[in-house]
Structure 1
Amino acid sequence: DEAGCGYFFEHTESDHTLVICGANADYPLVPGDPQVVRNDADMIGALSAWQPANALRPGKNVTEDYDGLKPSTLKKANSSTILGTPNASKFEMYRWPGGQAVRPEGDLSKLGMEGYEAQADLVSANGNHPSVFAGGRLKVVPGLDNPSPVTWLVTSVSHEAFDDTHLSGGGSAGYSNALMLMPADRPWRPASPRPRPSMAGLHSAIVTGPSGEEIHCDEYGRVKVHFLWDRAGKTDDTSSCWVRVAQTHAGKWGGSWNLPRVGDEVLVGFVDSDPDRPVIIGSLYNAEQKPIYTLPANKTQSGFKTKSSKAGAADNFNELRFEDKKGSEEINIQAEKDMTLLIKNNLTETVKKDRTELVEGKHTETIKLDRTQTITQGNETLTVKTGKMTTLVETGSQTTTVKTGSITHEASLGNISIKAGAGKIALEALQSITLTCGTSKIELTPTGVTITGLDISVKATMNITTEGSLMATHKGGAMLTIKGGIVMIN
């Protein structure tokens, strides 16, 4: 029917044969002489009760369909009638879905129009020629005054035979038929294609793929399935056509994406109940593929969990899990390998209690502008257990300020070095500066400098000048030695 073909049966003593014809010329001629239109039921070969019937048919047939591989443009076709009906274009028939998306062969709009035209001019008649059969072309003489035969196509025939000769009172025997005819020069098409099998409701299926594959799809994200009621199909990549997978959101702007994997149980619906338009609308857990969280113990948990492929172990997965149990609320994220986070503007992070971060490898942080870190109340401890700590300011300065409190630098088992490679070192204190090594000490106060030690040596490669603006005292408790090539006093 969908291809516009007609069919009839040939009956013999040994076989019944189905004959399919795509054009009127394929239908065989009814054997015998042409039959004559004449109201004489007893005349052999006469067609009585000749009754033409004319029906108003559409002047235009429009079909439209949607193809997911070419979604921007609907598949549209239209055909106009050849009957010459006045104002025919005003009488339009529209069919959706037209069928072109899943059955692209042939012009379905034209076939539909020819189906309407085939029913426009019909003739019913009664005959008595037993050789007439549905699907045959019958030559008919319109009348004794018009002997030129016209060919008609027999679209249906009802046969009636009776034999009353066996009755005790005697009787007669006879045969008659009732015919429905259409002009043979007009293509016969089904008045309306036979309804396709309706795939109502939802159907369970298992996602399939080639042996060894865990995920199998095409470039459009379609998968293949094996329906549980399919007793003949295989459970591999030949089990079905490609089946589209519905998503929570989908569009040019973005959307969500989740692909069922081989072995998953899915629910399949059919767009417009058409068996050629399957679509997966969701997945189901079952006794072998249980929910990702143990139930009912973890009934307050929800989330997303995807296992690594191929051959991922039970603990190889990415996960986003929500725990909604009162008092134990939690969001848990696991990246099986890497995690990338991109924020194109600002990130504001608030932790109202504690934060713990563990990096088992290297930690690299790059800040292209400023960094400000404030500890409102509490302490900051930075511990390098093994290794070294380096602070580098390539251009600029470094300032450490303690407004209230002290600064302590301590090397318990090592050295402390302070070096200004091309500048100065300035130490300044309001009360005092003290340098201590064992019992030796240098102390600077606002009023003086005191150097204390068991032995004090002051040595200059060239000159040493000591001067007191008011008074200078040089004293040795046991001995004072002043020595020089020339010693000048006053």
Structure 2
Amino acid sequence: MEVVVSFLGGNPDQPLVIGCLYNGDQRAGVELDAKKTQSLIRTKSSPNSEGFNELRFEDEAGGEFIYTHAQKDYNEEVEHNHSTHVKVDQSNTVDHDQTETVGHNQTLKVKADRQKTVDQNESTEIGQNRTEIVHGSESVTIEAAREHWVRNDESQTVDKGNRTILVKTGEERETFKGGRSTTVHKHDNLHVTAGANRNVHVEGQYNNTVDDHYVVHQGGTERIYLNGHIYISSDAKIELVAPDCSIKMEDGKVHILAANEITLTSGSSTVSLKSDGNIDASGGTQVAISGGSAMGEWSDSGVKQMGPMVEIGADAVTKITGTMVKIN
């Protein structure tokens, strides 16, 4: 390779090589005819290696670029600030691992869209607090399971609009180690679809407090099973109503109403009050009616009427019969 020599101060005893010229044996690093607008600095790896480091410049109008090639590692150290301004697009490709360490704050601002794809796992650890603000809508899709773990308090607030939780195929379970308080300022609706059941198990006491009316609409039969006693109390009245029947308790009175018949039964004893005015009373061995010191008794041995005075009267005929009739 030929060199270009200059002399310091024109002194031939002080030659200085300031350049070189390529020849047939030492060719340029690029094809001069096809890439004559390129300039480069290339250093080969040694010894006896095809590797090289290179800094190349393309000066063709409209196609200018700077190309850097590091045969192995590329280290960059800036003692103070470092600013990079890319006026069009930028692409970074790392074939293996990447580590980025920021000793102080970091700000990332994307004026249009941002898309991030992680083919495998992702872990994020925040040493202190985290704030996330989405001014529009947010959609999160998780194809597998999800676990949400909060080691301290959690608060969710929906300022406007509705909140919907939909479990399409599985079940929803909630477990509270402490207490639970729910406040609903308007209507509260619970719908268990047809053919499904609802079970409530309270190991302690179960209290319902309603400031206004308490209404239960039921399509089938209601059954109440108690291991202890049942106690129903009202400051006003208690009323049970069925078609053509009612029982009302108020002001120290009990009013039983039936359109056809009222029957009281205990063992083999029965008292029946019928709508036609008849009253039937029957007992297995004896029927007794008493009032004050008077009493009437009916049994297999006969009929007894006793009292200070017993009066028998009829508008037409009074008939007394028997094998023996004893008066006084």
1:411 CA displacement = 0.8
Residue in 2 aligned with 1:392?
125
Structure 2: distance between partners of 1:323 and 1:358 = 22
1:382 aligns with 2:116: yes
Query: Superposed, which structure 2 residues align to 1:349-428 within 5 Å?
Result: 349-377=84-112, 379-385=113-119, 387-395=120-128, 397-403=129-135, 405-412=136-143, 414-428=144-158
Moved runs in structure 1, 4+ residues, more than 6 A?
439-442
Residue aligned with 2:83, SS: coil
Structure 2: distance between partners of 1:446 and 1:367 = 49
- Per the normalisation by structure 1, the TM-score is 0.40
Query: Superposed, which structure 2 residues align to 1:168-183 within 5 Å?
Result: none
2:57 aligns with one of 288, 306, 322: 322
Residue aligned with 1:321, SS: strand
Q: Which amino acid aligns with 1:416?
A: R
1:359 CA displacement = 0.9
The structure, 1 or 2, with the larger RCO (C-alpha pairs under 8 Å, 6+ apart) is 1
2:212 aligns with one of 470, 475, 484: 470
Structure 2: distance between partners of 1:265 and 1:374 = 53
* Cα distance change, pair 461–341 in 1 and its aligned pair in 2 (3 A): farther
Q: Deviations over 1:364-415 (max 9, x none)?
A: 11122222222212x2111111x211121122x2222111x21122112x11
Structure 2: distance between partners of 1:326 and 1:359 = 30
Structure 2: distance between partners of 1:368 and 1:356 = 24
1:330 CA displacement = 1.4
2:190 aligns with one of 451, 459, 464: 451
Structure 2: distance between partners of 1:470 and 1:340 = 78
* Cα distance change, pair 452–324 in 1 and its aligned pair in 2 (3 A): farther
Contact 1:431 1:446 in 2 (8 A): no
Contact 1:306 1:319 in 2 (8 A): yes
Structure 1: distance between partners of 2:114 and 2:108 = 11
Which runs of 5 or more residues in structure 2 are unaligned? 174-182, 234-328
Q: Which amino acid aligns with 2:21?
A: L
Query: Superposed, which structure 2 residues align to 1:15-164 within 5 Å?
Result: none
Contact 1:269 1:278 in 2 (8 A): yes
Structure 2: distance between partners of 1:446 and 1:310 = 83
Contact 1:304 1:320 in 2 (8 A): yes
Which runs of 5 or more residues in structure 1 are unaligned? 1-263
* Cα distance change, pair 366–467 in 1 and its aligned pair in 2 (3 A): farther
Q: Deviations over 1:187-211 (max 9, x none)?
A: xxxxxxxxxxxxxxxxxxxxxxxxx
Residue in 2 aligned with 1:66?
none
Q: Which amino acid aligns with 1:305?
A: R
Structure 2: distance between partners of 1:351 and 1:488 = 82
1:290 CA displacement = 0.8
1:279 CA displacement = 5.0
1:289 aligns with 2:26: yes
Structure 2: distance between partners of 1:468 and 1:270 = 109
1:420 CA displacement = 0.7
Query: Superposed, which structure 2 residues align to 1:421-436 within 5 Å?
Result: 421-436=151-166
Structure 1: distance between partners of 2:131 and 2:224 = 47
Structure 1: distance between partners of 2:187 and 2:84 = 54
1:307 aligns with 2:49: no
1:456 CA displacement = 3.5
Contact 1:300 1:325 in 2 (8 A): yes
Residue in 2 aligned with 1:184?
none
1:488 CA displacement = 3.9
Structure 1: distance between partners of 2:172 and 2:150 = 24
Residue in 2 aligned with 1:273?
12
Residue in 2 aligned with 1:133?
none
Contact 1:300 1:324 in 2 (8 A): yes
Structure 1: distance between partners of 2:18 and 2:61 = 33
Q: Which amino acid aligns with 1:451?
A: L
Identity, % of aligned pairs?
Answer: 27
* Cα distance change, pair 341–457 in 1 and its aligned pair in 2 (3 A): farther
* Cα distance change, pair 346–433 in 1 and its aligned pair in 2 (3 A): same
Structure 2: distance between partners of 1:289 and 1:460 = 95
Q: CA RMSD in A?
A: 3.0
Structure 2: distance between partners of 1:344 and 1:488 = 86
Contact 1:323 1:331 in 2 (8 A): yes
Structure 1: distance between partners of 2:118 and 2:87 = 27
1:458 CA displacement = 3.6
1:459 CA displacement = 3.5
- The count of residues paired between Structure 1 and Structure 2 equals 217
1:292 CA displacement = 1.1
1:463 CA displacement = 4.5
1:436 CA displacement = 1.0
1:441 CA displacement = 9.1
